[in-house]
Structures are given as C-alpha cells and as structure tokens.
Amino acid sequence: MDNDILLNVESKEIRYAHLRNGQLRDLILERKKARQLTGNIYRGRVTNTLQNIQSAFIDVGEGENGFIHMSDILENTKKFEQMFDMDFDLDYDIQTVDVRKQKKLNIEEVMKIDQPVLVQVVKEPIGSKGARLTSNISIAGRYLVLLPNSPHRGVSRKIEDRGARERLKKLIRAFEMPHDMGLICRTASSQATTDMLISEAHELLEGWQQIMEKFNDSTNPTLLFEESDILKRSVMTCVDKKYDRLLVDDYNTYLKCKRYHKKFSLEHPLRIEYYRDKTPMFERFNVEREIEKALRRKIWLPSGGYLFFDRTEAMFTIDVNSGRSTTTEGNVEETLVRINLEAADEIARQLRLRNVGGLVIVDFIDMRVRKNQRRVLERLKEFMKEDPAKCTILSMSEFGLVEMTRQRNRESLVQTLFTSCPYCSGSGLIKTHESVVIEIERAIKKATHKFEQFGLLLTVHPDLYKYMKNEGDLSYLESFAKKLKAKIEFEESDRLHLNDFRLISTVTHELLEV
C-alpha cells in the first residue's frame, strides 16, 4: 500500500496532503496568521474568574483570551490517560484524590486577577472561542513525554509486547529525576535503546529549565515554548507510520525536512523528494479537485447515490440518498445496503478532509433487515478507526440515523477558507425580486406620507430593474406615485446589492431613510 505525504508551500500557507494509493485521505491547511497553538506553553495573566462554572480567562498574548477550568488546574489523571494512552502503575487511586481536591478548592482561591500563570494549550481557538488551557504541563519528545508537575511514570498501552513494557517501566523508575516530575514512554520508545532514552530525558529536562528561566525573566503574557511545526509533524508522521515518501514543492522546506529526518533515518529510511515539475503538485496528484469537492454540499458516490452535507449551529448533518443508482427487481434491499456501505467509507474520509468537529448526525437510507443495519454501522466504525481525531459512534436508530461525535481539534476546512457572506450572513439566501418590489412600494408610501417628499429618484440593481420592467412594475410604480401626488424616476446601479435600493429626494437631493 503506497502512502505519500505532499507538502505544498506558499508564502502565507502550508498544505499537507496524505495520499494512500493515490487517493486523498487527509488534509491539513496551516496559515501563518493562524498557526497551530496546541502544545505551546505560555506565561499567561488571569483576566477574569467565573465562580459559577469554576473557570478563568487567561491572556496569553494570542488574541482571544484562553479558557481554563478547575479540572485543568488540579491533577486530572484521566486527561493524561486520554492524551498519551498511558498504562499507569500507581500505589493509590489518583481519581479519589482528584475528586477530594476539587470539592475543597474554589477557582478564586487558585486564580487571582492579574496573577501570572504557566499554562499550555490543549485545544485550538476556534471561531470566537479562545484556546482551552491547562496548567498540567507536558513536554513531548520523540520517545518520552516529560510531566514537570505530575509524579506519574507510565508506558503507552499501544506497546503490546509485555516484555518491552516491563523493560521500559523498570528503566523510567530508575531514572534520576526530581521526585515531583513524571515520565511517559511513547509507542516509539519500544524501538529506542537505553542510551537514546536517557539522552532524550536529559534534553526534555533542559528544555523545562529553559522554559522556567523564560517564565521568571518575563513580565507580560508571552510564548515560552513552541510545539513542533507542521514540517516536523509531517516528518515524524512519515517515520511513525512508515510512509513511503514525503514530496515537497519548495526547496528550502525540502532541505529543512531532510535535516529533521537525519536524526531518525535509522528508524525509517524515508524518501524525501523535491518536486520539480511545471504542473503544480496538488494539481498533478488531483488534490486540488478533491479539495474543491470537499467544499461542496453534494458529493456523488460511484454507485450513483450521493451524500448531502449541511451544517447548523448545533450539529453537522449528512444525508445519504439513492440518487441515480439503479436497482434490480427483487434486490432493492441489497442495492440500498451497497449504497450505504459506499457512503460509510466516503463519510469517514470527508469528515477528515473537511475536519468536521462536534456532533454529527448521519441519515442512512432505510434498511429493513437489522443485520444489514449492523453491517453498515460496523463499516462506518471500521473506517473511522483511521481518524486521528477521537470519535464516539452510537448505534443506529430505527430511522437509520447514526449519532456520533468527532473531536474538534482545529478549525474546519470551511472555517479556514471562507467567511460568512456579508449580505446573507451565512444563510445562503437572499430575498426574491418580488419581495424587494413590495418593499419599494411600502418605501414610496412612507416617503410621501411621513417625509412629505413628492419628487423621488429610485435606484436599483440592473437585474432588479430588468425584472421590474418585464413584470410591468415600473409603470405600476409610476401610476402608484401619481396617486400619492408624487413623481418618480428610475436609475440602475450595479454597485448596489440585488436586495438593496435607494430612494433620493429630487428636491433636497438627500437619501431618504425608508
């Protein structure tokens, strides 16, 4: 199975595309103005505390204030388990300690206004929401994760070899470190030698000392430590997952990737290539076409069925339809199942490409046989396993609906590329010409009755003018104004929005606020 990562580099944006056997499976867009903040460590300043929800807002110098909850301040082992997929060896049940601490403490006792705090971003700022922060700092290396203010020592559950896990547990217990600091062995540590692990542990400790020095030397909210950028993450993904090739279309970026990889070349001999062809790389590998498809509301499936995507304030909905698919007589159920199975694969792919987060409702085509419903649900779960974002999928309802949640880790593709239409405010709707003509009639009445203006100039968009002319509205409005003892003239302007019009007094030459 061929796995390639393409990096398209522009002055303001880097685009990451993962291709499996030529098909786009994952897409990340990172813009210079909105670089990824997750993992970054800051000196912050408390700006406000909220007693009712036991939270605080913290200025970290990145625009919107970050948000921290009491559970992100106190020890919360569950979160470490989820973040690093750890296997803990503790002499006590830390959860009981967490709960006891949380019952006693109050946010206002822990966080005071203007207090300097050391925090780390655990969730990207999205839209108007600031970043989610924690004071439980973790610094990730290639093989180890340092927990500077948590005493836990653990090993990733993804290391399935029991012998390797036991060796790593003994090794990190024997490390000479401050007693209040912890270490986690990541999955890649199973391939590392003892010397490599010791060397990295020293690097992480030195990094932590530098962070603390910067914290003590600074007075304002400032960035103390920046998590690896998209280039390092791309190289490490290739090494971790043993991908075949990393293709880069910018020479300086290509050289940087080569330098990053040098340290791990023995682990995986990755091919890093510089793309030289005249045809743009994303065009050559059909990525541009796939991005354009991922922005559409409607996507056709090979069988002739189609998916329809819609976003509301509360959720993201996906409707599966039979569309142009043909059914053979007596085998309708199997045809519908085939469309649903195809849809399950495409839905999992599109959720990754569009980077949809939050609640997702999928409306599959109704299937009568319960066994078929299970087949479709299992297929969806199977394809969603590839997703790096955490997903929870519930069982299918009687109506063929599947509820699921997908971790919101950064802005969606639509949020990154688009902004709401200033005319329709994102509704995708504008008034019909007929509706605007009715408003104009009311406006003329108001201009004569309220403002006592009897010489009027009406300016409208050329398309609306053409409609009014064809429908006889121009002559009607002339006679309507005449009845009101007014005279009206008409003018076109393509500077106006389709739904806008202007009424100006030909006597005072003032715009009438009608």
The domains of the chain are located at 3-33+230-287, 41-225, 296-417, 433-505
- Residue 249 pLDDT > 60: yes
Domain 433-505, CATH 3.40.1260.20 — does that match? Answer: yes
When comparing pLDDT for 122 and 97, which is higher?
122
Residue type, 108: E
316-321 and 358-363 beta bridge pairing? parallel
Question: In this structure, what token pair is assigned to residue 340?
Answer: 């649903």
Task: Give the model's confidence band at 97: pLDDT under 50 very low, under 70 low, under 90 confident, else very high.
Answer: very low
Q: Which fold has domain 296-417?
A: Aminopeptidase (3.40.630)
Output the CATH code of domain 41-225: 2.40.50.140
Contact 468, 480 (CB under 8 A): no
Query: What pLDDT is stored for residue 80 in this prediction?
Result: 64
**Residue of 33 and 389 predicted with greater confidence:** 389
Strand pairing class (358-363; 271-274): unpaired
Is the pLDDT at 83 greater than 70? The verdict is: no
If you average pLDDT over every residue of the chain, what do you get? 88
- Taking CA atoms, 322 is separated from 368, 371, 479, in Å, by 15, 20, 53
Is the pLDDT assigned to residue 189 strictly greater than 80?
yes
Work out the average pLDDT over 140-154: 87
Q: What is the pTM of this model?
A: 0.76
Q: What is the mean pLDDT of residues 448-452?
A: 92
Mean pLDDT of 267-288: 94
- Better-scored residue on pLDDT, 280 or 77: 280
Greater confidence, 127 or 124? Answer: 124
pLDDT value at residue 92: 40
Residue-level pLDDT at 50: 86
Whether pLDDT at 98 is above 60: no
Type and span of the H or E element at 45: strand 41-50
| Identical topology for domains 3-33+230-287 and 41-225 | no
pLDDT at 326 over 60: yes
**Per-residue exposure over 80-105, b if at least 16 CB sit within 10 Å of its own CB, e if not:** beeebbbbeeeeeebeeebeeebeee
Q: Give the CA-trace dihedral at 252, 256, 258, 259, to 10 degrees.
A: 140
Mean pLDDT for the stretch of residues 3-15: 94
Mean pLDDT of 79-87: 63
Q: Where are the beta strands (DSSP E) in 264-313?
A: 271-274, 298-300, 306-311
Residues 459-482: pLDDT tens digits?
999 999 999 999 999 999 999 999
What CATH number belongs to 3-33+230-287?
3.30.420.140
Is the pLDDT at 91 greater than 70, yes or no?
A: no
pLDDT of 180 reads 81
Say if residue 259's pLDDT is above 70: yes
